[in-house]
Structure 1
C-alpha cells in the first residue's frame, strides 16, 4: 500500500523540474513568498489548464517566486487513484500551513467534477487559514452552476465568495462571478490566458497551406464539423494539409477522416507537449478552432503568438481578443459551409492570410505577452498575501 501511495502522489514540480513530494525549496522555508498550484492532471495531463500553469511556473524562473504544481486527480478521473491524490494535496496544504505559512495556494477550477474536487480543497484552505485564490477556467460556468440542485449550489458558493481573490478569463466570466455567484467585484480580476513569446511570425514557404487544430478532439471543439469542412468540395480542389493535435477519441476521428476521403491529408498525432506544439505552429499558416463553447482557448492565444491566420467561433472570451476580419475570422458554431468557405478563402488568398497573420501577432504583443501576465499575477499575489480577511 505504501508503494501504491508513492506512485499515486508522484513528484511535485518546481520551476518545471521534478522534485520528490515533501521536499521544499529553501526559499519557502526562509519565509519568502511562494505559490502552490492545484491542477487536475498536473502539467502533463491537465490539458489547457495544465499548460497554462506550466507557463506560469516557467515564467517566474529560479530567481522569482517559487512555484510548485500539485496534481489533484491524475491523468484521468479514477476513484482508486484520484481520491488518494486529492487527499495527498490536502496533506501538502496542511504541511504548508506550518512550514511555509506565507505560501499562496492557487487553485485552478472548472465545472463538473473539477468543482466537486476543488470545493473540498477550498474548504480545507479556509479551515486551515491558507491564503488562496480561485482561478476559474470553464467554457460556461453559469450553465454548469444553474444546472445544479439548490443544495449543491449552496455548497459551491463559498468556494468563490470566501476565497481571498478570484481570477476570471474574460468579461463573461467576470459577470458570472459577480452576478450569478455573488462574489465582491473588488476581489475579482480579469486575466486572459497567455503563452510565452515564440518569436514569430516566421516566413513560411510551404508548398501546401498548413492548417492546425490544437485541443481535445471532441464534439465541443467542433472536430466533426472541421473534418466535414476539410472534405467539402471547395476545399478538396485546393492544396493544403492539416494536423489535428490533441487527445480524445483519436482513432474514431481517424476513421471518420478515412470515410470522408481525407486521411491522406489530415494527420492526428495525439496530444503534443509545449515544444512540439511550438514546432508545429512554426510551420503552420492557419489555426482553426470551431468550438461550440470555450472560456478563452489556449489554442487561440497560441495562434496569435505565432502570427497564424485564425478561424474560430464567437464563444467565451474570443470576441475580447480577436477582431473579425482583422486579427482573425469568425464562423458560426456548427456551420460546416461557413467553416469550409473561410478556410478555402485563406488557403487560396495568401495576401489575406498574411494580413491576418500580422494583425494576430500585433494583438498578441499588445495584450498577451508573458511578461505582462506575470506582472498582473504578481499584483494579485500581493493582494492575496497583504489583504485582510
Structure 2
C-alpha cells in the first residue's frame, strides 16, 4: 500500500460522533481512531474529537448543545481543515444533519460517514421534508463514506451520492495479538461467543432457538453472551429454551475482558439481520476465530463463505443450527477457518489500512 505520510505539520480534522466510551459500533471505531493517534499524525492528520451524544455523566441535550457550539467556535477560529461526521440512523442522523447544515452555513468542508447497514430502508420510510434535508446534507458533503460494497451501490442507485464522491472504507482495528502469540483454546467445553445488543436485529433470539435444536450428541459447549439490552427478557428466553446450563451472560464487556474472552473462543456467532460493518466480527477474525454469521451486506465484505467461516440466511434457524453443529464437531475446519480469518484480517482490516484509506478520502475532500 502506498505510504501517505506527510512530513509537514499535521492538518486538523474534527471527528464528530458519539462518546468514545459509549456502547456500539461507531464508538468502537472512534476509540480505534484515538488509539491510533500517532499513526494518523504520521499520515499528516491531527484529530479533535467532539462528542455529540453519550457523554458520561452529562445530559444528552446539554452534550448536543455543547458539541454544536464547539463546532461553531472551532470552525470560525480554529485551524480546522475538515469535519468528519459519523452517523447512524434515527436520532443520530437528525443530530448529524444539523451539524452538517452548520458546516454548510459556515462554509466548512465536511464528509459524512454512514455506519448503519439499514440506512436505505430507514431513509425510504422518512417523511419527504426529512428526506429532503438528508439529500441536501449528503449532496453537499465532500465525500460520503460507506462501509460495504452493497451500501455504496445503494447510495449511488438512490441518487444520494455520485460515484466519485461515494467512498468505501472498511472498518479496521488494532491487532490484538503480538507477533507469534497464539490463542489458547479451552480443553473441555467448547466456547461459542456472541457480542452484540440483546435484540433480534442482532439475531440473539434466533441463536437461542438454533441452540435449542442441537441434538443431544452435540459436543459440550458454552455460549458466552456479551452486550447490553433487556437482560430480563433474554434470560426468560434462555429458560424457555432450556439453555440455562449452556448460556453465560456477561453483560457489557470491553478491554482486557473482551480480549480474554475472544482469545479463548472457538466459534464466534453473530446472526444479525443487518450490519454496517461489524467491529465484533473483525475482533473475532483478528484472534483467529471461525465465524458463523448471516449472508447480509457488510458481513459478506468481511467473511468469505467456506473460507473464514459459514454464512446462513437471516432467521434461518435450522441452517444456523447446522452451521454451529458442524463447527462444534469439526476441529480441523474450525482451525482452518480461524487461520484464514486471521490472515484476511491482517491483509484487509487492520487499523493501518483503514487509516490509509481515510487519508485518501481526506486528501480528495480538501482539494
Q: What's the TM-score once normalised by structure 1's chain length?
A: 0.85
Is residue 29 of structure 2 the alignment partner of residue 52 of structure 1?
yes
Query: Residue 372 of structure 1 corresponds to which residue in structure 2?
Result: 353
Query: 2:146 touches 2:166 (CA, 8 Å); kept in 1?
Result: yes
Task: Classify 1:151/1:364 alpha carbon distance in 2 versus 1 (closer, same or farther; 3 Å).
Answer: same
Query: Residue 163 of structure 1 corresponds to which residue in structure 2?
Result: 141
When structure 1 is superposed on structure 2, of 117-126 and 144-153 the one drifting more is 144-153
Q: How many angstroms does 1:43 deviate by?
A: 1.0
Q: How many angstroms does 1:284 deviate by?
A: 0.6
Higher relative contact order (CA 8 A, sep 6+): 2
Question: Aligned to 1:338, which of 294, 310, 319?
Answer: 319
Q: Deviations over 1:356-387 (max 9, x none)?
A: 111111111111111111111122222223x2
Task: Classify 1:169/1:235 alpha carbon distance in 2 versus 1 (closer, same or farther; 3 Å).
Answer: farther
Query: 1:101 touches 1:130 (CA, 8 Å); kept in 2?
Result: no
Is residue 273 of structure 2 the alignment partner of residue 292 of structure 1?
yes
Query: 1:137 touches 1:295 (CA, 8 Å); kept in 2?
Result: yes
Query: 2:117 touches 2:298 (CA, 8 Å); kept in 1?
Result: no
Query: 1:213 touches 1:288 (CA, 8 Å); kept in 2?
Result: yes
Query: Residue 184 of structure 1 corresponds to which residue in structure 2?
Result: 162
Q: How many angstroms does 1:118 deviate by?
A: 0.8
Output aligned runs, 1:249-288, within 5 Å.
249-288=230-269
> In 2, Cα distance between the equivalents of 1:131 and 1:46?
28
Is residue 44 of structure 2 the alignment partner of residue 68 of structure 1?
no
Q: How many angstroms does 1:149 deviate by?
A: 2.0
> In 1, Cα distance between the equivalents of 2:133 and 2:243?
48
Question: Aligned to 1:350, which of 322, 328, 331?
Answer: 331
Query: 2:115 touches 2:276 (CA, 8 Å); kept in 1?
Result: yes
When structure 1 is superposed on structure 2, of 329-338 and 194-203 the one drifting more is 194-203
Q: How many angstroms does 1:39 deviate by?
A: 1.6
Output aligned runs, 1:172-251, within 5 Å.
172-199=150-177, 201-234=182-215, 237-251=218-232
Query: 1:160 touches 1:181 (CA, 8 Å); kept in 2?
Result: no
Q: Deviations over 1:130-178 (max 9, x none)?
A: 2211101112211111111222211111111101111110111112222
For 1:220, what is the secondary structure of its paired residue? helix
Task: Classify 1:381/1:201 alpha carbon distance in 2 versus 1 (closer, same or farther; 3 Å).
Answer: farther
Task: Classify 1:124/1:46 alpha carbon distance in 2 versus 1 (closer, same or farther; 3 Å).
Answer: farther
Task: Classify 1:118/1:337 alpha carbon distance in 2 versus 1 (closer, same or farther; 3 Å).
Answer: same
Output aligned runs, 1:148-159, within 5 Å.
148-159=126-137
Q: What are the ranges of 5 or more consecutive residues in structure 2 without an aligned counterpart?
A: 1-7
Query: Residue 4 of structure 2 corresponds to which residue in structure 1?
Result: none
> In 2, Cα distance between the equivalents of 1:254 and 1:358?
34
Q: Deviations over 1:69-106 (max 9, x none)?
A: 32212269xxx932222221111111112332334211
Q: How many angstroms does 1:183 deviate by?
A: 1.4
> In 1, Cα distance between the equivalents of 2:40 and 2:293?
38
Query: 1:32 touches 1:102 (CA, 8 Å); kept in 2?
Result: no
Q: How many angstroms does 1:205 deviate by?
A: 4.2
> In 2, Cα distance between the equivalents of 1:235 and 1:162?
58
Query: Residue 308 of structure 2 corresponds to which residue in structure 1?
Result: 327
> In 1, Cα distance between the equivalents of 2:215 and 2:275?
28
For 1:213, what is the secondary structure of its paired residue? strand
Q: How many angstroms does 1:342 deviate by?
A: 1.0
Task: Classify 1:236/1:35 alpha carbon distance in 2 versus 1 (closer, same or farther; 3 Å).
Answer: farther
Q: What's the TM-score once normalised by structure 2's chain length?
A: 0.90
